[in-house]
Chains A and B, each alone.
Chain A
Amino acid sequence: MAENTEPRIGVFLCHCGTNIAGSLSIDDVVNYAKTLPYVAVADQYQYMCSTPGQKKIDDAIKEHNLTGVVVAACSPRLHEPTFRTATREGGLNPFRFEMANIREQNSWVHMHGMWDEATDKAKDQVRMAVAKAAKLEDLIPKSVPVEHAAMVVGAGVGGMQAALDLASAGIKTYLIEATPTIGGRMSQLDKTFPTLDCSQCILTPKMVDVGRHPNIEMMTYTEVENVEGYIGNFDITLRKKARGVLTPTEATAKGIVGGGCNGCGDCTDVCPVIKPNPFEMGMAPRKAIYIYHAQVMPLIYTVDFDSCVKCGLCVEACGEKKAIDLEMQDEFITVKVGTAIIATGFDLIPIEGKKEWGYKRFDNVISSLEFERLICASGPTGGHLIRPSDGKTPQAVGYVLCAGSRDNTGGVAKPYCSRFCCMYSLKHAHQMYEKIPGCKVYLFYMDIRSFGKAYEEFYYRIQNEGAKFIRGRVANVLEDPETKNLHIFAEDTLLGRPVDIEVDMLVLAAAIEPKEGANVLRKKFGVSASQDGWMLEAHPKLNPCGTTTAGVFLAGVCQGPKDIPDTVAQAEGAASAASIPIHMGEVELEPYFAICMEDLCAGCGMCVNLCPYSALALIEKEGRTVMQVTEAKCKGCGTCGGFCPGGAIKMQHFTTPQIAAQIDAFFAGGVQ
């Protein structure tokens, strides 16, 4: 289209059912739009995003020879891509489209008795959008190749599933795990609800699959140090923490033939340092050279350099295998990937912060994960459920559900539902009856949320097994100093009376919070967080795996509390989404990059230092110093353009004349 012709803008108002039309006068705004300069046609439709709505745009572009399109509807963050496509279908460059957000930022926030004000605001919004649309230019998105590799950060059940899916789709996948073994939280669990599958039995085969998949490069005891680049071309620097132990491959590379760790455990037998094992929630010992548990993947020992005294006994015990190197240092490696999935999981909140329940004050108050280890056949007690104070088998056990969840009192408490505590507490109750016939089980609950497939049926089953459900929050717990038994004080809200129940042991179904360090990690990937700290999905309903950083996806609890089936499902979704750009081979980036207008550039170089991506440089051109943009590096923030003292930087799609026209349109009351 000729650049010099007078702009001809089409304006289309969407009713969005009654979402918009119920709060402001569409007719008034359409009639007003017709009076605006450059507007060739103004129209309305119930649902502009529907096929007939989009066809209106298509037809109008052709009929009225439009140079720009304005749709006044929902947020551009929702439907800008839709209408850009419609604009392109009509034969215009898709960037000749501008949206006026009269729903999220107008009709939905000015709903009651605000008809006139909302209508006036919509007129202003349309006027400003038309002003911008009149100055829009054709832009060509740049296509960049996508690296045929992906990264998954976090190797719990979600991360492992995502990695397996990506790898099985033929994509080289780096699986990064901060601890020495893959498996995550699920490997700490004994049984899983509602099927009572043994957690290890269903997880271990997956761990083995991950370990031997030719397309998966498993990197345990490794953390993400730095992320650079953009979709298709992320350069991710990893810190391979010093493990102190060589794998057979690493040993061979160093010329130690037949050497490297074979997992025999001779080293750990001789190690004199004893520390609590975090995998067993500190209830079992480990040495300074250790593995978490027998099923670790990879089966390679790790030296905890914080507690190692470097006595060298392990090196001696290892002998000819020469697997142990007590002088090992952290290594940094950079890998290139096209897309990445974050699957970092959760921690329990420090439930001792809820002082009334006595965790860490009373021996026999334990957290649900501690109970999980105590009842697990591979746990510290070999599956014999005993209570911490005296090693006796508890005959009466209380469970506090919503321990710190759905709690607005602040401190360590969380306002949200942690989603799986009801169900695992029911499972714990069942396991009590299984292990200790005739025992008493009391569950203190607010509501039982058994919403999943076969969950409600499981709830009935536990009720029939004899568990006592007491609807009420536990107000206080006191310990009998002699017996170490606990008195639970609560109000039974269904009977409307206070209760005092004596139990041998109390289990707190503690709320969960994002994994320690997840907040730092997400910022490296440019991922936002919701108010409660969980990572923010691109759209809560329509894009629950994506993030606002193109090419970065979320799987599992890092995005919000969810149980194992939901985690695995989201992981598969994230893997599918992450594989699309890789299989496409190239992606289009929005053409919002900076351009130097060399005539105006004085070569001062202020912008060069402002750019966070090192995309700008000063060059010599025709005897002058001017700035040059490396388009592939520019992400289009416009920080350079906002500062350039000479106005020499043009930020595409957000140019100074375009923004100035919007400001003029607001205050001057029309496009001049």
Chain B
Amino acid sequence: MADEWKPKILAIICNWCSYAGADLAGGARIQYPPDIRAIRVMCTGRIDMLFILKAFVEGADGVLVSGCHFGDCHYLEGNFKAAKRMFMIKNLLRNIGLDDKRFRMTFVSASEGAKWATVMENVISTVKELGPSPIKEFKK
């Protein structure tokens, strides 16, 4: 039964834009697949690269970071600084042999509920196509 496998995807999202956008999607009852669990931080700038690496090591099939659009950060430029770090994550994943599509950074504002739902669908379908993370093999 191939459809038994459910991906484990972690999202770390900022309070002011993406978390609010996700709430707006809820308020509008926009439906999307349920495979993502979110951790709320005040700003994507808070996200240590180690959080993402830890998630992959623990067995994440995918990780999403989502913040405000550039120029809209509640803390002026935290998202910009986060984005720079996230490029490094992509590089790192490629170097250790993980498909870098397992990691994504998106920008969803507090008014983009529909966009949040689209992001959810895209991230989940991408990870489903890639299948379970190979790191899980090491954990057995």
Contacts and interface: CB of A to CB of B under 8 A. Distances in A.
Interface string A490-517: 0000000000000000000000000000
A530 to B, nearest CB: 4
A449 interface: no
Interface stretch (A139-147, A271-279, A325-333, A652-660): A652-660
B29 A77 contact: no
A298 interface: no
Interface string A590-606: 00100000000000000
Given A109-B31, A592-B42, A642 B85 contact: yes
Nearest to B54: A663
A104 B23 contact: yes
B8 interface: yes
Interface stretch (A155-163, A233-241, A563-571, A664-672): A664-672
B48 A656 contact: yes
B27 interface: yes
B37 A128 contact: yes
Nearest to A99: B40
Contacts of B32: 109-110
A236 B132 CA distance: 52
Interface residues of B, number: 52
A110 B124 CA distance: 14
B23 A75 contact: yes
Given A124-B37, A642-B47, A662-B39, A528 B72 contact: yes
A378 interface: no
Given A612-B76, A656-B48, A667-B60, A637 B42 contact: yes
A179 interface: no
Contact of A642 (B23, B46, B111): B46
B120 to A, nearest CB: 8
B75 A612 contact: yes
A106 B27 CA distance: 11
Nearest to B15: A77
A212 interface: no
A259 interface: no
A108 interface: yes
Contact of B46 (A101, A124, A639, A667): A639
A612 B77 contact: yes
Chain A's interface size range is 35 or more
B19 interface: yes
Interface string B52-71: 00110011100000001001
B20 interface: yes
A637 B43 contact: yes
B34 A110 contact: yes
Contacts of A548: 16, 20, 74, 110
B29 A667 contact: no
B81 A643 contact: yes
Contact of A108 (B27, B38, B109): B27
Contacts of A580: none
A59 interface: no
B45 A639 contact: yes
B127 interface: no
B11 to A, nearest CB: 10
A428 interface: no
Given A635-B75, A642-B47, A663-B39, A111 B82 contact: no
Contacts of B55: 663, 666-667
B123 interface: no
Contact of A526 (B19, B25, B60, B74): B74
Contacts of A125: 37
Give the residue among A104, A114, A636, A656 with the most B Cβ atoms within 10 A: A104
A128 B59 CA distance: 16
Contacts of B47: 642
B41 interface: yes
Contacts of A204: none
Contact of B75 (A109, A536, A637): A637
Interface string B12-23: 100111011011
Contact of B23 (A105, A526, A636, A638): A105
Interface in A62-118: 75-78, 101, 103-106, 108-112, 114, 117-118
Interface string A620-643: 000000000000000111110111
B18 to A, nearest CB: 11
B128 to A, nearest CB: 14
Given A104-B26, A528-B110, A612-B77, A666 B34 contact: no
A529 interface: yes
A110 B6 CA distance: 15
Given A77-B15, A124-B37, A523 B31 contact: no
B90 to A, nearest CB: 17
Give the residue among B15, B34, B51, B55 with the most A Cβ atoms within 10 A: B34
A75 to B, nearest CB: 5
Contact of A118 (B34, B46, B60, B77): B34
Give the residue among A103, A110, A118, A642 with the most B Cβ atoms within 10 A: A642
B100 interface: no
A596 to B, nearest CB: 16
Contacts of B54: 660, 663
A531 interface: yes
A642 B27 contact: no
A397 to B, nearest CB: 38
B112 interface: yes
A239 B58 CA distance: 53
Contacts of A105: 22-23, 26, 38
Contacts of A637: 42-43, 45-46, 74-75, 78
A121 interface: yes
A77 B45 CA distance: 19
Nearest to A592: B42
A120 B74 CA distance: 33
Nearest to B75: A637
Nearest to B30: A109
A56 to B, nearest CB: 24
A610 interface: yes
Contact of A104 (B27, B34, B51, B59): B27
B109 A528 contact: yes
B116 to A, nearest CB: 9
A400 interface: no
Nearest to A532: B111
B26 A103 contact: yes
Given A548-B16, A638-B46, A660-B54, A75 B81 contact: no
A136 to B, nearest CB: 14
Nearest to A656: B48
Given A638-B42, A666-B10, 10 more contacts: A77-B20, A103-B26, A104-B27, A106-B34, A110-B31, A110-B34, A612-B75, A637-B75, A638-B78, A656-B50
- Please name the 7 residue pairs, one residue from A and one from B, whose CB atoms are nearest each other, closest first: A638-B46, A104-B26, A639-B45, A637-B75, A667-B58, A637-B43, A108-B26
Interface of B: 8, 10, 12, 15-17, 19-20, 22-23, 25-27, 29-32, 34, 37-43, 45-48, 50-51, 54-55, 58-60, 68, 71-72, 74-78, 81-82, 85, 109-112, 117
14 contacts: A105-B26, A121-B34, A526-B74, A530-B111, A548-B20, A612-B76, A638-B43, A639-B78, A641-B48, A642-B85, A643-B45, A659-B12, A667-B58, A667-B59
